[in-house]
Amino acid sequence: MSKKSKKDATTEASVEAAVASQDVVNDTSDSVEVADKKSKKRRWRMSRRGFLVGLGITGVGAALGLKFGVPEGQLALAGMLDDAAAPSNVKGSPVAWFEVGTEGTTLYMPKVEMGQGVHTALKQIAAEELELPWDAIQVVSSPTTRGLADGFGTGGSSTVSSLFTPLRETAATMREMLKTKAAEKLSVDVADLKVEDGVVFAAADSSKKLSYAEIVSGVSEWDVPKKAPALKAQSDFKYVGKPMQRVDFKDKLTGKAMYGYDMRKEGMLYGAVARPESFQATMKSAEVGAAKSQAGVVDVVITEDFAGVVATSRAAAYKGVEVLNVVWDEHSGFSTADAMALCTVEDGSGLTVQREGNAPKALKADSAKVIQAEYRTPMAAHSHLEPQAALAHVQGDKLEAWVSTQAPFVVRDDLAEAMGFKKENVDVTATFLGGGFGRRLSGKVAIEAARLSQATGKPVHVGWNRTEEFKYGYLRPPTHNVLKATLNGSKIEAMEHQVASGDVAFPFFPEFLTKVFGADFGAWRGATNFYDGIENRRTLSQRVKLPFDTGWWRGLGLLANTFAQESFMDELANAAGVDALEFRLEHFAASEDGQRFRGVLTKAAEMADWGGSLPEGHAQGIACSTDVNTKVAQVAEVSIENGKIRVHKISCAMDCGLTINPDGAAAQAQGGIIMSLSSVFLEKVDIADSRIQINNFDSYPLITMRDAPEINVEMVDSGPEPFGVGEPPMGPTAAAVANAVFALTGQRLRELPLKLNA
């Protein structure tokens, strides 16, 4: 744990005590009484709009939260909230988003900060409607015992877009509650009050004023406005749309920020777990062997399918694991070639995920003129800097855990099921994450720590090493894309895209849901044809079951599928003898989406001086994509140096609707492009004899600063609502680079990582 001041520790203890002591003692349709064990009643009331209102968790000030959706179901965010009427029975501690106390305002966030800057963007939204100075709000990650029950987690580029309206409405409601209470205290009409920088004052007499801290002092009853408060006009925004300083930078720069690997607790021990060499292996037997005689080893934990060591240091725990006598039923024989062979399109098979017009009929009618190409991408690892890590403390039938996770509520549920505990007895707090990219949606490391803690009665920290991270996580699956099209002059008459891929989303869903969905939406993400000027379009997704674990990866199938589709668009443009930019522009209809695509394509082309003069030996390629309603276009400028492709510049235009923080959005685009380039040139996981052939970064190199190009990003705002930012920039990069290579060399590269033909 990080070192805290005495005051911080006291406040934290009082908050924890208040949360732990809450018991529901009386339920009615209009109110819920909550009493602590000292019988000091604290009243929370549920309004018909679905808000929960009451005293702050420390017993001072005002707290506002929500249980389901408000108003009229508008707060249903990404399927996490039930948009039905608010229930009369509110069990457990209220779900508080805001607390306004005598010492400041706290925003409790269920979403996780993993370097993408979402806490900053969400603070901008909250400060806007609360009318608070920037430094007056503290953003805190919610533990699962008091946070919004977020079953989705932080991912899918949905955090800011899904919380934009709920957060604004909740903040605006809190603002109006404070104004109403200020009117009582100042003996003025609430309509005559204004709010600025956390101070409520009378418009006619500014000497009549109260700060938020003064308003909440001594108040024990709060009322929710009967009408939904008006939200600020975009023209009045002070924070939204402005580049604001990241709220997490100071702690990260000074070393105060606590990641999962950093978590410490008094009396803590370290754990390590025995693992097989091959995937799909099962444990046949395990014995203590010489483990307990190793220096520093405290205990050895062996069950039917688990063998682990607890020690006074991480090194001692790993040493103990090395000398356990574990026998595995190992598998062998599976290779990279086997994976790629399995992941091959069977023409016409799979589930149709897009049908516009009748592409099969049109392609068959003009079969002699069908243009066809296929593309492949390999397995890839997440390769984030911080491996999996969790600190768990089991005390009786209760469990506390601090975990490097994108989904604390998912981990809570996994822990409860694995340990046989009630969910309300499991409290998970998400730490800062040293990278996520979809890899931190598994509760495996937390379960390992909890099992070892339960056996020893001590807090236990399990932190995977780099080899474990590479070998025992889940991979980006291999893909095979086959595209067909026919041309009528410079126009595409019909186009079909078939995708074969290992699972991406399905490993994280119950089996019955996979049958409902049919096709893995993560695998075909980015594969549907967004050129709405093409009359006949069809996309098919073919599910491939592989013997090793695959799953979420940044952008899901976006990088692989866009690489295929946008490279193929370039092939069609070349066959039609039309400029690649003009060819794309001609295939959008006069629709809203079409206009937005034209906007980013023309902006990226303008940024790159498309068609202008280039240094000798340089060429450009262009590509675009859409993801979570965000449109992105990129132009890559490349050359060939010493027989290798060199990217000099990427010009990126992104339309994510309303941009909350331009600096944060640009940083996400730059990061996504760099991550894409790493896959374009380097990243590939090989398998031999059913074993992952990676131990560390020496066998899995990443792109370095030496090879990073100049990246220019410009935002194209297109409306009053924000869309996703984190993953959309992953889409066009690979195709833009491959298209530039073709323009320069005439070689059409259809497989990642890109390598020039000899």
pLDDT tens per residue, range 606-620: 999 999 999 999 999
Residue-wise pLDDT for 653-676, tens only, equals 999 999 999 999 999 999 999 999
- Say what the pLDDT of residue 75 is: 26
Q: What is the dihedral of CA 448, 451, 457, 460, to 10 degrees?
A: 0
With tokens 């608070």, the residue in question is 132
CB atoms within 10 A of CB 303: 11
What is the reported pTM? 0.88
- Say what the pLDDT of residue 57 is: 47
| Nearest of 653, 649, 647, 643 to residue 623 by alpha carbon | 653
- Say what the pLDDT of residue 132 is: 95
- Say what the pLDDT of residue 147 is: 64
- What is the C-alpha separation between 689 and 336, in angstroms, rounded? 9
> Do 6-245 and 337-379+475-745 share a fold?
yes
List CB contacts of 225: < 8 A, sequence separation 6 or more.
173, 176, 177, 180
Helix segments in 187-218, DSSP class H? 212-216
Q: Rounded to a whole number, what is the largest CA-CA distance in the chain?
A: 84
Name the residue type at position 659. Answer: T
Which CATH class name applies to 6-245?
alpha beta
CATH fold of the domain at 337-379+475-745:
Aldehyde Oxidoreductase; domain 4 (3.30.365)
Q: What is the dihedral of CA 58, 59, 61, 63, to 10 degrees?
A: 70
List CB contacts of 343: < 8 A, sequence separation 6 or more.
477, 478, 479, 480, 500, 501, 502, 544, 546
- What is the C-alpha separation between 379 and 364, in angstroms, rounded? 34
- Give me the residues of the chain with pLDDT under 70, please: 1-96, 147-148
- What is the C-alpha separation between 401 and 451, in angstroms, rounded? 12
The tally of CA atoms less than 13 A away on the side-chain side of residue 317 is 24
Sign, Cα dihedral of 542, 543, 549, 552:
positive
| Nearest of 14, 651, 758 to residue 749 by alpha carbon | 758
Domain ranges of the chain: 6-245, 260-330+388-463, 337-379+475-745
Looking at 3.90.76.10, 3.30.1490.270, 3.30.365.10, 3.40.50.10480, the CATH number of the domain 260-330+388-463 comes to 3.30.365.10
- What is the C-alpha separation between 305 and 302, in angstroms, rounded? 8
268 phi and psi angles, rounded to 5 deg: -70, 145
